[in-house]
Amino acid sequence: MNDVIELLQSHRSIRKFSDKDIDQETINAIVASGQAAATSSNVQATTVIQVNSASDRDQLAAFAGGQKYVSTAGAFLVFCADLKRSAQACDSQGGEFTQGMTEHFIIATVDVALFAQNCAIAAESLGLGICYIGGLRNKPAEVSELLKLPENVYPVFGFCIGYPEQDPEIKPRLPLSSVLMQDVYTENVLQPGIDAYDEHIRAYYRSRTGGKKDSCWSEEMRALVGKESRPHMREFLNSKGFTML
């Protein structure tokens, strides 16, 4: 073990921040760390929008379902999958951008995730806390309009950064034996791992909430994947040029 591994394994989502400002040099260093992440074929398909306007942040908080820490964090970033830049480069060389390819969409979305996770690690190494805001996809068209996102660019998630004003417990993860498999996918390890994790996460929720929350991972998955989830995203992505050919 070393300090980097210890930092990675101590991640918590922070949803309560102090009012201490984050200087722009720090934000720049965090985003530059994101740029250093792996990127498929050097496409570099991530654009980050730092939202400074208080009124815009309040709107984004509302779009995300009333997550007030979007407004109160020291800084708020929106991570966008961006194929406009590479399309423009292609066109400048006499090519013609092939729009709507599923592989291009995957490349751009994976690039954003890798970029953002580097930013998260960089921020946490400086004593800052972060929280991803996938709730922006509740209202992706409205977010796009507010941020003036062009065709071939879509908002993947938001990202709160700030100095923590809470110290939550680390949320347990699935057993490593359920995640790390050797040579082939081993289905018979799934249910024992899920059962063990359900007990562990239920105890965690009871401890964290003083007994107010009594739930397990399987119940949460039933609520999440047992129904439609943001079905509007397909039509929205089509409208932005991500037609998945």
How is the beta sheet containing 46-50 ordered, strand by strand?
A: 46-50, 75-82, 153-162, 129-133
Alpha-carbon span 48 to 120, nearest angstrom:
13
Cβ(201)–Cβ(219) below 8 Å: no
Please tell me the predicted confidence (pLDDT) of residue 172: 96
* Backbone angle region of 233, left / alpha / beta, with phi > 0 → left and psi within -120 to 50 → alpha: alpha
Query: Please, what is the average pLDDT of the chain?
Result: 97
What pLDDT is recorded for position 168?
93
Average pLDDT over every residue of 7-31: 97
* Tens digits of residue pLDDT in 174-220: 999 999 999 999 999 999 999 999 999 999 999 989 999 999 999 99
Query: What ranges do the domains of the chain cover?
Result: 3-168+228-239, 176-209
Kindly tell me if the per-residue pLDDT of 238 is higher than 90. Answer: yes
Percent of the chain with pLDDT over 90: 99
Beta strands in the chain (DSSP E): 46-50, 75-82, 129-133, 153-162
Confidence (pTM): 0.96
Check residue 1 and give its pLDDT.
85
Beta-carbon contacts of 243 under 8 Å, excluding residues fewer than 6 positions away, are 99, 100, 237
Residues 3-168+228-239: name the CATH superfamily: NADH Oxidase (3.40.109.10)
Looking at the predicted structure, is the pLDDT value of residue 152 above 90?
yes
Contact 39, 45 (CB under 8 A): yes
Residues 112 and 79 sit within 8 Å (Cβ to Cβ): yes
> What number is the average pLDDT over the span 10-15?
97
Helix (H, G, I), strand (E, B) or coil at 96: coil
Tell me the per-residue pLDDT of 108-144, one tens digit each, with 9 for 90 and over. Answer: 999 999 999 999 999 999 999 999 999 999 999 999 9
The pLDDT score that the predictor gives to residue 34 is: 98
The answer to whether 152 touches 83, Cβ cutoff 8 Å, is yes
| pLDDT, tens digit (0-9, with 9 covering 90-100), for 219-233 | 999 999 999 999 999
